[in-house]
Structure 1
Amino acid sequence: MILKPGAVGQLRSDLKEYRGNFITKCLLEIMPLVFQRLGQVRRMSWDQVDFEAGVWTCPAQIMKLRRVDKEHEQTPDHVVLLSKQALEILRSLHQVTGPSGFVFKPAAWRSDETRTICENTVNSALRALGVGLH
C-alpha cells in the first residue's frame, strides 16, 4: 500500500519498467490515469473509446451499482476523460487488441472476443513490482 505522496511517482516509474506482457503493462499504466475500478477498466471495449473526443464511455452495466440501477434504462453511462498519456497507451494497444472487442484481452485468448484479462494477472504483476495488495 502506498502511504507517502512521493511513492506515487516511484510507482509510476515502476509501472513503466514492467517487463511482462504488453497488454498487462498497458493496463497497469492506464489504471492511475483513468482512476477507475479495475473491473471497469478490464471490461473496457473498443466501441466505448472515442479517440477524437478523448473519452471513454463506461456503460452502467459494468459499473459497481446495484442490479436495479444497472438494468434501469435511465442510469447514465460514466464518461471518463482520457489524458494524452492514456490515449497514447490506447493507441499503441489498439494495434495489438483492436479494432473490436475488449481492449484488455488475455494474451493467450486474443482471438476470443468474449474474454478479458484476468484480475489475478494484474494482481500478480503488481506483486512482481513489489506493490502490496490489501
Structure 2
Amino acid sequence: MRIAPHVFLRPGELRQAKWNEIDFVDKVWRVPAERMKMKQAHAVPLSRQVRYLWQELRSLPRTNECLFPALYTTQRPISDNTMNVALRRLGFDHDEMTSHGFRAMVSTLVNKSGLWHPDAIERALAHGERDRVRAAYHRGAHWEERVRMAQWRSDYLDQLRVGGTIIEAKFNKRG
C-alpha cells in the first residue's frame, strides 16, 4: 500500500508485479500486455521513492518472482482483496477508500495540479487512444513528461507526510 499512491496502476497490475519486470538501471517497470486491462504492454517510470521502497522489498528473503507473494504460498501474489482488507483494518470504510481509490486519488492530484499535459496523464493511466490514427503518432509520446510527473507526484506525497500544502478536489458521491 505504500507504493500504490506513487504509481498510476490498477491494484491487480500492482499486486501481480514480478521482479523481472523492474529495471532499476533504466528506472522503469515494464508491465506485460497480458496483465494490462487494454492488453498492451505498459511502461511505468519509477520515482526515487518507489525505487527505494522496492529496494527495501528486495532485501527481504524471497523464494519466488512475485514482489508481493501470498502469505501461505509464494507461488502466487497476494489476493485481489488483500489491500482492501488492509484499508479496512486501518479504519477506512468501503465508501471512503479502496485499493482502486489510490489510482483515482493520484489521477485527481496530477490533473488538479495543472502542471501536466492531459495526454501525458492519460498515457500514465494506461488509457488507450481510441482514435487509431492518433494512436499511431503517440506510441512513445510524453515519456519524459511522465518521468518528471512520477517524481513530482512522489515528492508531493512526501511533502504531505510532513504537513505540505494539500491540493483540494471536490468529489461527488455516486448514489
| TM, length-normalised to structure 2 | 0.50
How far off its partner does 1:133 sit? 2.7
How far off its partner does 1:99 sit? 7.6
How far off its partner does 1:53 sit? 1.1
Q: Which of residues 93, 114, 128 is equivalent to 2:57?
A: 93
Query: Is 1:133 aligned to 2:82, yes or no?
Result: no
Residues 47-93 of structure 1: per-residue CA shift (max 9 Å, x gap): 0000111110011110112xxxx3xxxx4x20001111111110111
Secondary structure in structure 2 of the residue aligned to 1:44 = coil
Cα distance in 2 between the residues matched to 1:97 and 1:35: 27
Counterpart for residue 21 of structure 1: none
1:93–1:103: 8 Å Cα contact kept in structure 2?
yes
Counterpart for residue 121 of structure 1: 82
Cα distance in 1 between the residues matched to 2:61 and 2:22: 13
1:30–1:89: 8 Å Cα contact kept in structure 2?
yes
| TM, length-normalised to structure 1 | 0.64
Secondary structure in structure 2 of the residue aligned to 1:80 = strand
Gaps of at least 5 residues in structure 2 are 96-175
How far off its partner does 1:95 sit? 2.0
User: Which of 1 and 2 has higher RCO (CA within 8 Å, sep 6+)?
Assistant: 1
Larger Rg: 2
Which of the pair is proportionally richer in helix?
1
Q: How many residues align?
A: 95
1:55–1:82: 8 Å Cα contact kept in structure 2?
yes
Question: Residues 1-134 of structure 1 correspond to what in structure 2 (within 5 A)?
Answer: 28-65=1-38, 70=39, 75=40, 77-96=41-60, 98=62, 100-110=64-74, 112=75, 115-134=76-95
**Identical aligned pairs, as a percentage?**
36
Gaps of at least 5 residues in structure 1 are 1-27
Cα distance in 2 between the residues matched to 1:62 and 1:94: 22
